[in-house]
Structure 1
Amino acid sequence: MNNCVHQCHMARKRFGQNFLHDSSIIDAIVAAIHPEPSQAIVEIGPGLGALTKPVAERVDAMTIIELDYDLAARLASYPFFQSKLNIVQQDAITVDFSALSAERGQPLRIFGNLPYNISTPLMFHLFNYTYAIRDMHFMLQKEVVNRLVAGPNSKAYGRLSVMTQYYCNIIPILEVPPASFRPAPKVDSVVVRLVPYATLPFPVRDLSKLATLTSLAFNQRRKTLRNSLGSLFSAQQLAEQGIDAALRAENLSVEYYCQLANVLAERPVSQD
């Protein structure tokens, strides 16, 4: 199947397409996902179906979300897939994943090889639906996975680290070299498992406050918190939370960001 599709379809730069073809890597990814027949499996960006086919062989039915019309139509044309696939031909960033979960009557298991240009906004979109998601397995650039798992006091630690660690337990699974793809990207990739917490470690009352805080702090990460968060907290108010105003954004743990977000949420709304 893949040979025919490879001959007929050119990777599109605007969609960031790099197609997986290494069978040993494919087997390892499918084993890590471990799909079971009745589960609500969703693949984002199936491309040429390198992962779709071995996963579909293990399940009763699955949903694929594919923006590229030609690829969606090509997968739909294969007889094996016709009884297996629910094809959603749209941008994954516009999909209501809670509706998909409700249709299947269970939390979703989502996987995909995510292009670099959409990986961060797509993950932020998915975080809105963690209550409807059991787990996610994504192939991402190694640099992105390093940012996901980074802790405080490191250059890789940033807003993506804080927001991902707020919602999910993050487990890197497998490194994937460029030669495993056609065309070969210029970077290494990593498969990562994201498991939404059943009970959040540091619950935040108003997530918009956490989003505001992390944006302000990390958009000015070279500045001290006294300056980057000065519009929200005085040095004295930070000290009352056990935070030194001379620290920078990358020095503050996820727990402290959540603590500050809850302080903001408790403030009375200004009437002016």
Structure 2
Amino acid sequence: MNKKFIATPVRTKEILKKYGFTFKKSLGQNFLIDSNVLKNIIGHAGIDEHAGTIEIGPGIGALTEQLAIHSDKVVAFEIDGRLLSILEDTLSDYENIRIIHEDILKANVHQVIKENFEEDQPIHIVANLPYYITTPILMKLLREGLPVESITVMIQKEVADRMAAKPNTKSYGSLTIAIQYYTEASVVMNVPKTVFMPQPNVDSSILKLVARNVAPVHVKDEDYFFTIVQACFAQRRKTLRNNLSSHFKGVLDKDVINQTLDSIGIDGTRRGESLDMQEFSVLANAFYELQN
């Protein structure tokens, strides 16, 4: 193994010591210290020397370095200003990296892509995401309809399982539907706590999201669809009928809700976790028509 790689316990400690860097819990900073895990992430991401890559939260540059070696260009968003001079040092050997000091949640990623990559270049997002903000980041990226082929991220195992879940499982929920409406989701690898510094309290997984060119179901209104899905999971143990009655309280009475469910052939005594995406789309479209 190349001694120069950032992702080793020794090198990471050296860099932290050199700059007197301390981890900020509020930013969910856990740095990867295993080059093999990074190579696996790169392999699963399916990037090559023609690809453009976007990283979120490069830290001291462990994953950034591997992305720079294996892809054409890397653009990384880093929110922590203390890391900018460190990254300038650790990544000084690579000409194909641009670090942007900005919060990804506030960034105009479309504009960044336009400015940094070729028009027909395949683009992939690859990141070790802070656990506390995984879902808002992924939902922002997906809902903006970015021209990216895939998103491969290291996230909390439990969240990865929820995003890639199948109906009738404990992990399946409104988050599953939201992620799988935009992408095909799969957990490609589980990762132990020991490959991070500091070690997190939870296990991690690498989740791969491949962008869909066409939505898997037809919905009359996306926002309405997601609102209905969330309503059906508001209290997991409750039936569809009860959750929808709570959601439409003061707007639609129970008889109307029951009639609507009957008209589309969905049993109101079922629970949200038993419906697949197709059934949710039929359900949401029926209530959308009723209200519009």
* TM-score, normalised via structure 1 length: 0.91
Say if 2:176 is the partner of 1:161.
yes
1:193 corresponds in structure 2 to: 208
Q: Deviations over 1:207-241 (max 9, x none)?
A: 11112112212222222111211226611201211
Q: Does 1:175 align with 2:175?
A: no
Deviations 1:88-117 (A, max 9, x none): 211111222222333322453101011110
Counterpart contact for 2:45–2:150, Cα < 8 Å: no
Shift in CA distance, 183/131, structure 1 to aligned 2, threshold 3 Å: closer
Q: Deviations over 1:144-165 (max 9, x none)?
A: 1111122222221111111111
2:138 to 123, 126, 130: 123
RMSD, aligned CA? 1.9
Question: Contact 1:209–1:264 at 8 Å: present in 2 too?
Answer: no
Letter of the 1:241 counterpart: I
Q: Distance in 2 between matches of 1:253 and 1:189?
A: 26
Q: Distance in 2 between matches of 1:89 and 1:97?
A: 13
Number of aligned pairs? Answer: 268
Deviation of 1:196 after TM superposition, in Å, equals: 1.1
- Corresponding position: 1:211 with 2:226: yes
Pair 1:236 & 2:246 matched: no
Q: Check conservation: 2:191, 2:205, Cα contact below 8 A.
A: yes
Q: CA deviation at 1:38?
A: 3.2
Q: Matched residues, percent identical? A: 34
Residue among 80, 85, 94 paired with 2:93: 80
CA distance in 1 between partners of 2:198 and 2:146 (Å): 36
- Corresponding position of 1:57: 69
2:26 maps to 14
Q: 1:246 is matched by which residue type in structure 2?
A: T
Give 2:31's aligned amino acid.
F
CA distance 1:31–1:118, change in 2 (3 Å) = same
The one of 20, 39, 43 aligned to 2:51: 39
Per-residue CA deviations over 1:5-60 (Å, capped at 9, x if unaligned) read 23232221000111100122122222222432332210011112111111102233
Q: CA deviation at 1:119?
A: 0.5
Q: 1:40 to 1:115 in 2, by over 3 A?
A: same
The 5-angstrom pairing of residues 133-148 of structure 1 reads 133-148=148-163
Q: Which residue of 2 aligns with 1:24?
A: 36
Shift of 1:192: 1.3
Q: Which moved more, 1:104-113 or 1:118-127?
A: 104-113
Distance in 1 between the 2:285 and 2:114 partners? Answer: 31
Paired with 1:96 and 1:214, the residues of 2 have a C-alpha distance of 28
Question: What 5-or-longer segments of structure 1 have no aligned partner?
Answer: none
Deviation >3 Å, runs of 4+ = 264-269
2:46 and 2:63 map into 1 onto residues whose CA distance is 12
Provide the secondary structure at the position in 1 that maps to 2:210.
Answer: strand
Partners of 1:167 and 1:138 lie apart in 2 by: 16
In structure 2, C-alpha distance between the alignment counterparts of 1:182 and 1:46, rounded to whole Å: 14
Q: CA deviation at 1:251?
A: 1.7
| Greater Cα shift, 97-106 or 48-57 | 97-106
How many angstroms apart in 1 are the aligned matches of 2:192 and 2:206?
A: 11
- For 1:68 and 1:257, locate their aligned partners in 2 and report how far apart those are by CA, in whole Å: 40
The 1:167/1:223 distance shift into structure 2, 3 A limit, reads: same
Choose which of 266, 270, 279 in structure 2 pairs with 1:247.
270
Is 1:225 the equivalent of 2:240? yes
Amino acid at match of 1:28: N
Query: Structure 2: 5+ residue runs without aligned partners?
Result: none
Q: TM-score w.r.t. structure 2 length?
A: 0.85
